[in-house]
Structure 1
Amino acid sequence: MRDSGMDAELQSLFEAARAAHTRAYAPYSGFAVGAALRDAEGRIHAGCNVENAAYPVGTCAEAGAIAAMMAGGGRRIAAMLVLGPGPGLVTPCGACRQRIREFATPETPIHVADTDGVRACFTLGALLPDSFGPENLTGDA
């Protein structure tokens, strides 16, 4: 499902993720990933995967984007885009789905792309159904 008619907000996420993808440090897997998110204030934060010789100790692109959001003062994810190579969809790993959930709601859109464009769109709830989130610990669930 290529999205050739991206709106401006999705296009800005795509461009930020594509730029981050080119900066990924993936000498061991050769699998470069970029991610970008829009926070609740409309700011874009990006990250890329960073591998380590003590494989698999490294950082996922989504975790890098979340860390950039936190460092920039953001606290809520309004939308995210993950960009990676290959014929299969590069969706967030299980650990990153939980990381995203900490700062997003089940309705938050998660877009999946490769360097040519958006391939699929999900809600976080579709990727992580019946998830455990901050409200479970505050009694607001």
Structure 2
Amino acid sequence: MRILLTTGITIGVILSILIGCQHEVDIKTAQYAVNGQKVYRTHCQNCHGEKGEGLGNLYPPLTDTTFLQTHRQDLACIIKNGTSGELEVAGKKFNNTMPASNLSAIDIAYVLTYINTKINKGKNLYPLEEVEKNLKNCK
């Protein structure tokens, strides 16, 4: 009985330590994603859809992870400054205008993290520092 009790307490302590030691980046990613969902619903969802599916031939989906990875350094600029002209996403061509936004760098980091982690089931954080650096390099 004593061995069983000791083993149970030991397992409980180990589980508590493992759960309590969640990596700081994972916590930050979760926080960014929650805030990003609010930004997305307010500023992006009308055109790109609730699940990032896009709107027919008008607005591209946000579910093309290849596009998002290939253009990672451009995404903050696209969100901040908008875009126009032809764009190919998920094998489809879109030729519509995305207006510039008044989002702050932190809001852009939030929404990009939300798109990556919740819409596309990825794990990558878009840190504020990366967004700020990319915004300085906008063309």
| TM-score, reference length from structure 2 | 0.34
Higher relative contact order (CA 8 A, sep 6+): 2
User: Which structure's residues are more often strand, by fraction?
Assistant: 1
User: Which structure's residues are more often helix, by fraction?
Assistant: 2
| TM-score, reference length from structure 1 | 0.34
